[in-house]
Amino acid sequence: MLPDRPSLTDHEPRLHIDLEKRWGDFQLAARLEARSEVLVLFGPSGAGKTTCLNAIAGLLTPDAGEIVLDGETLFRRDRAGVHANLPARQRRVGYVFQHYALFPHLTALENAAYALHRQRDGRQSALKLLERMGIGHVANRYPHEMSGGQQQRVAIARALAANPRVLLLDEPFSALDAAVRQRLQGDLAALQADLGLIVLYVTHRLEDALALGQRLAVIRDGRVEQEGPIEEVFRYPANAEVAEVMGIRNFFRARVLEATPERLLLDWDGLYLETPPQPAAIGSIVAAYIQPEDIKVLYPERPVMPAVHHNRVRGVIQSSELGIGARALRVSLPNGHSVEVRFPIYTYAPLRLEAGQPVEVSLRKEALVILHH
């Protein structure tokens, strides 16, 4: 059984990362703090996410910076203090690679026990890990005899065998189908909570980040654009670049016409929209967005409730798509743009919401978010 982790306060970062690395025209300059949590490194391919993991694991040497784990310096160069570069085998960092990297000539048990070969009870400890991952029954199978989900669980068991302080996951579920991915994410979340592990999880899929992550670091072009609680980053991206990376819908730019203590009035190519009051210079161009769930369809000839009284606009439905538990409309607006509207399938049942039909919607004033640089 793996030992309990030391308890730490929420204000005490367990892992401090400050990295600089250059390849040709690309430069990584990333600063991160992680505690006993799942910190998701999110962003497009080539942003520098895997480079961060490799540097933490000791598989790559940064040009400068420092990595400090539980008060121990794993790496330091060109920073105040004694220079250090601890070998990978001494860092106690577990790593689960995107394609698992299992040894094809070893069984599941032998793969899991690889880091324990010098321990007398190494195979027994490895078997307990396989059982904990729910795959004790495949202990004597080779990788080619296992499903993708089983191989992934073996890879996680192998990473945990050396009792790591940090677990690194590089796109670990990309090759798995949705059902298997969901089960593994649930098991991994429970494992992290039980062991108090620091988990750094690289993905470019927002669905995976939301399913497993507790905190989110958005990385773009080698820079950490924003870091914080995952729901906060998703709902309130720090700037237009973060909104773009996260694929936020209904993103637009508009000119500020009026800024008063009661409201901000925007001109979005001829469509006037009110937002809650906030600092903005009249005449400036601001970036804004509204979530598809916050655009409401209005019933014809019914009283309009105060919450949807503002920003009412008539448009035409371009498309109507039915998904799992929700319907999505693409509505063409008079200013030449379109917005996505999303709602539960049982909502607006009396209305004929089909392509080509006119519709009136409200872009809720309180739900319009202005992005400040």
Confirm if 157 and 136 have CB atoms less than 8 A apart: no
Q: Is the pLDDT of residue 332 over 60?
A: yes
| Nearest C-alpha neighbor of 312 from the set 343, 342, 272, 281 | 272
Q: What would the mean pLDDT of 298-321 be, rounded to a whole number?
A: 93
Q: Is the pLDDT of residue 279 over 90?
A: no
CATH number of the domain where residue 194 is located: 3.40.50.300
Q: Is the pLDDT of residue 2 over 70?
A: no
Q: What is the pTM of this model?
A: 0.76
Percent of the chain clearing pLDDT 90 (strictly above): 64
Per-residue tokens: 122: 């190494």
> Is position 140 within any domain?
no
pLDDT level of residue 7 (50, 70, 90 thresholds): very low
Task: Assess whether 205 and 70 both reside in one domain.
Answer: yes
**Last residue of a domain, which of 208, 230, 245?**
245
Q: What would the mean pLDDT of 70-97 be, rounded to a whole number?
A: 94
**Last residue of a domain, which of 214, 245, 276?**
245
Element (DSSP H or E) covering residue 240 = helix 240-245
Strand order in the sheet with 285-289: 271-275, 264-268, 251-259, 285-289, 369-371
Task: Assess whether 185 and 277 both reside in one domain.
Answer: no
Specify the pLDDT at position 4: 41
Q: Is the pLDDT of residue 40 over 80?
A: yes
Q: Is the pLDDT of residue 13 over 80?
A: no
| Total domain count, the chain | 2
Confirm if 258 and 278 have CB atoms less than 8 A apart: no
Task: Assess whether 60 and 185 both reside in one domain.
Answer: yes
Percent of the chain clearing pLDDT 70 (strictly above): 96
Q: Is the pLDDT of residue 70 over 50?
A: yes
CATH number of the domain where residue 312 is located: 2.40.50.100
What is the tens place of the pLDDT at every residue in 191-245?
899 989 999 999 888 888 888 899 999 999 999 999 999 888 887 888 888 888 8
Distance between CA 192 and CA 14 in Å, rounded? 15
Distances (CA, A) of 247 to 112, 253, 295: 38, 16, 17
The identity of residue 342, as a single letter, is R
> Is position 3 within any domain?
no
Q: 333-347 burial, b for 16+ CB within 10 Å, e for fewer?
A: beeeebbbbbbeeee
Task: Assess whether 233 and 273 both reside in one domain.
Answer: no
Domain boundaries, position 26: 15-92+163-245
Specify the pLDDT at position 9: 44
Task: Assess whether 29 and 167 both reside in one domain.
Answer: yes
